[in-house]
Amino acid sequence: MANPTRLPRVVPPGGWTFHSTINDRTYRFPAGTIVSCQLHTLHHNPFVYEDPYKFMPERWIETDTYRPSEAMNRDTIPFSLGSRQCIARNLATTELNMACAAIVQSGLLDGARAVGDKIEILEWFNSKVPDEKITIKWD
C-alpha cells in the first residue's frame, strides 16, 4: 500500500497550470502555492481502477485480451517520483517482484481470501494500520 501522507511541492516562479482529464477543467496555481498528491487516494481512484478497494492483483496481468490501462500505469507511483522518490525504489521493486513470484509459485496463497472489505489506515508515513495487522484467511 502506498504511503498515505501528502507529498507537498511548491509551485515554481511563474506559476503552474493543471488540466484535469477527469472533468476537463483547467486550474491555475500561482507561484509559491503548496500542492500535493496523496498517493493512497490516487491509487484508489475509481475513475482509474475498477473496484479500487477490492484486492485484485490480476488487474495488473497483461493477457492476449487485456492490458492494464494507460491511466493505471500513469497513476501507480508507490515510491514517489523525481528528486523525492525513495532512494531504494529499484531495490524494493525487485525484491517485491521476486517475493510475490515466489509466494504465488509456492501455492501458499491458494484458497486465501481477505477477511475485511478494505484496509483502513491511519494518517502515518509508513501506512500504519489499526491494530498493526492485516488478516487473511485460508479455506
pTM over 0.75? The answer is no
Domain locations in the chain as residue ranges: 9-138
Q: Are strands 34-35 and 26-29 parallel, antiparallel or unpaired?
A: unpaired
pLDDT tens figures, 72-86: 888 888 777 776 677
Closest by alpha carbon to 113, among 51, 68, 62, 57? 57
The rounded distance, in Å, linking the Cα atoms of 13 and 33 is 10
| Residues of the chain below pLDDT 50 | none
Q: Mapped to the 3 state alphabet, what secondary structure does 65-117 carry?
A: CCCCCHHHHHHCCCCCCHHHCCCCHHHHHHHHHHHHHHHHHHCCCCCEEECCC
